[in-house]
Amino acid sequence: MDVGGWLAEYRPLLATLVAIAALLALILRARMPAFAALILVSALAALAAGMAPADAFDTLTRGMGGTLGFVAVVIGLGALFGVILERSGGLESLAQRLLAGRQAGSGRWLMGGLGLLASIPVFFDVALIILAPLVFAFARQTGRPALAFGLPLLCGLAVAHSFIPPTPGPIAVAEILGADLGLVILFGLLAGLPALALAGPLFAGWLDRAGYLPVGAVSGETASPTKRPAKAGLTAALISLPLLLILAGTLAARFDLPPALGYSLAVIGHPFMALLLACGLTWLAFRPTSDEQRRHFSDGIARALEPTGAVILVTGAGGAFKQVLVDTGAGAQLAEGTMALGLVPLVAGFVLALLVRVAQGSATVAMITAAGLTAPLADAAGLGPAHLALCVIAIAAGATALSHVNDSGFWLVSRIFGLDVRQTLASWTIATLIIGLAGFAGALILSMLV
């Protein structure tokens, strides 16, 4: 065997594998920010694969710019949409309307649905902080542990955060893989709703009946949000609006409609226009009318753009890493090796996302890293639009599972519900594992039907 020839042939793949190990070491051991770590290992992987310096940095520029051209606009508009709903008090109003006069059993299901709706326009942690006081109030009203309703809420937030655009994670993965957002929304709902039901209301109900649900303690840091006039039904309609418009645009492209109707749906169904319309209508419905309210909104917008900027940068860096895989040929070699092992892109995406999630904690970083590695596999397999969208869902499922001590969300849940580490592992970590496995099973079943 010509070892030198083998090393030369597979130099790009070996450089990529070393780069992935270096990425995890930089994030876990050196505590380097994910954006800087991704850019650094992308550059080193390109150079180690044999690219000239000018070509390597051109690859990074094209990969980052190509990804952010779409993603930055959608994530920015999504953040603006969410902060208007948050600062208007719309989410709190919706929660109060849904829970009024409910019993414990129906309250668990409603909390799951509320979490799903709330996390579509608003980041996971923001929605949790806003809605946690209502969980505690409902728990006192029914005499049940707060986690009996908190766990379904958390699962709804987690499913929307990872499975359903316009949240940043699935948008970024869809762009890297070239998947249609409308199909991602459709399949995200079809796979995510059963996963939410199993991990949220059903699992929480079983824990409650078996006496395994920890009581915990209310965190003093979770205060009730500022109350502002907002209509619950209007809030639900506005949250649903961009999803329905994007779905309509996707379906219109697949049917032979009259030209005027097809053109109109193509315009309003594009994610840019759907989110612009949602932002505009939400602002008109809940716009501030006093100087105090204007300051309240302005402060919220400024705060919302901070995490949004971080997500956009990490997403761009993930796009740069993907482009390195494409331009060096490492992606094609990775695809050949993975397919030789019998791993189809759907399974590979789930496994890669799960491994990165367990190793470094962040669901968004896990999704973006796995998407960059899965994109060449999907290209080599020649996947159609439906199966590309299902790859997004499989990656989302892997990146959601097994939230544990290296995930900031784990500690937020622990703090808000007053749980120790063991209690959080036995409730929240198991719930995320159920979401991941059920979501992946849903993606597999759908892949056999489409």
- Cβ contact 397:199 at 8 Å: no
Note whether residue 2 is domain-resident.
Answer: no
Per-residue pLDDT at 101 = 67
Which DSSP string do the residues of 181-242 spell out, in sequence order? HHHHHHHHHHHHHHHHHIIIIIHHHHHHHHT--------TT-PPPPP----HHHHHHHHHHH
Asked if residue 332 has pLDDT above 80, the reply is no
Note whether residue 4 is domain-resident.
Answer: no
Asked if residue 219 has pLDDT above 60, the reply is no
Residue-wise pLDDT tens digits, 289-323:
788 878 888 887 777 677 677 778 887 887 888 78
Q: Which residues contact 362 (CB under 8 A, 6 or more apart)?
A: 34, 407, 408
Please state the domain count of the chain: 1
Other CB atoms within a 10 A radius of the CB of residue 351 amount to 18
Per-residue pLDDT at 226 = 45
Per-residue pLDDT at 189 = 95
Give the CA-trace dihedral at 392, 396, 397, 399, to 10 degrees. 140
Per-residue pLDDT at 269 = 87
- Cβ contact 152:109 at 8 Å: yes
Compute the distance between CA of residue 181 and CA of residue 389 in angstroms, rounded to an integer.
8
pTM of the model: 0.78
More confidently predicted of 411 and 221: 411
Percent of the chain with pLDDT over 70: 91
Give how far the C-alpha of residue 24 lies from the chain's centroid of Cα atoms, to the nearest Å. Answer: 20
* Mean pLDDT score of the chain: 83
Percent of the chain with pLDDT over 90: 26
Token digits for 404?
A: 């544990």
Give residue 388's pLDDT band: very low, low, confident or very high (50, 70, 90): very high
Residue-wise pLDDT tens digits, 170-207:
988 998 899 999 999 999 999 999 999 999 999 999 99
Residue-wise pLDDT tens digits, 223-259:
444 444 557 788 888 888 888 888 888 878 777 788 8
Residue-wise pLDDT tens digits, 403-431:
887 787 888 888 888 888 889 889 999 99
Mean pLDDT of 42-65: 90
Note whether residue 5 is domain-resident.
Answer: no
Per-residue pLDDT at 168 = 82
Compute the distance between CA of residue 314 and CA of residue 245 in angstroms, rounded to an integer.
28
User: Closest by alpha carbon to 348, among 365, 373, 322, 331?
Assistant: 373
Give residue 433's pLDDT band: very low, low, confident or very high (50, 70, 90): very high
How many residues are recorded in the chain?
450
More confidently predicted of 66 and 205: 205
Per-residue pLDDT at 338 = 67
Per-residue pLDDT at 296 = 80
Note whether residue 1 is domain-resident.
Answer: no
Give residue 130's pLDDT band: very low, low, confident or very high (50, 70, 90): confident
Which DSSP string do the residues of 75-95 spell out, in sequence order? HHHHHHHHHHHHHHTHHHHHH
Asked if residue 25 has pLDDT above 80, the reply is yes
Give how far the C-alpha of residue 112 lies from the chain's centroid of Cα atoms, to the nearest Å. Answer: 17
Give residue 90's pLDDT band: very low, low, confident or very high (50, 70, 90): confident
Domain boundaries, position 332 = 10-449
Mean pLDDT of 388-412: 89
Other CB atoms within a 10 A radius of the CB of residue 431 amount to 28
